[in-house]
Amino acid sequence: AAVLKVHTDEAAARAALAALAPEVRIMSAGQSIEILKGMGLPAEISSRFGLAGMKGSHIIGHTRMATESAVTMEGSHPFSTGADLCLVHNGSLSNHFRLRQELKREGISFETDNDTEVAAGYLTWRLQQGDSLAQALDGALEDL
């Protein structure tokens, strides 16, 4: 895992990486969010990424027990499907297969089979439709 900071738009960065290094995956793209993913014990992850020396206003850690998707780096939380939005979720969503298909038709793309990524995609879609974050979260209570 690595953090790459680029001074270009997301589409250009994705196109360049697809051409030059197709094995590299962009897990997140945003203005002020850094998503660092790793598998292992929390102390190991903290040491690996040097979290003690980082500065910022928020940090979220998540220890996952997979119930529906494989234990992989890609399947670990948080998920980001839009600029400056990421989601960590405990639990499982019963309708994520249907909702994934609906969101794909709306242009939301997914990189994993994880249900939490669907929830993040739902929030991204609602925000793209003009909802406030509060409205998107209220909608999530109904639709997820």
pLDDT number for residue 87: 83
How many residues are listed for the chain in this entry?
144
Q: Using CA atoms, how far apart are residues 132 and 46, in angstroms rounded to an integer?
A: 33
| Residues with pLDDT less than 50, the chain | 1-2
Burial of 140 (0-12, 13-18, 19+ CB in 10 A): middle
pTM: 0.66
Distance, CA of 78 to CA of 25 (rounded, Å): 15
Closest CA to 114 of 27, 36, 21, 11: 27
- Rounded to 10°, the helix 96-105/115-128 angle is 40
Side-chain half-sphere exposure of 58, counting CA atoms within 13 A: 7
Model confidence pLDDT, tens digit, residues 96-128: 999 999 999 999 989 888 888 899 999 999 999
Given this model, what pLDDT does residue 1 score?
Answer: 43
- Amino acid 100: pLDDT: 94
Q: Which CATH number fits domain 10-143: 3.90.1300.10, 3.40.50.720, 3.40.50.20, 3.60.20.10?
A: 3.60.20.10
List the chain domain ranges: 10-143
Q: In this structure, are residues 112 and 95 in contact, taking their beta carbons and an 8 Å threshold?
A: no
Map tokens 């990486």 to a residue.
17
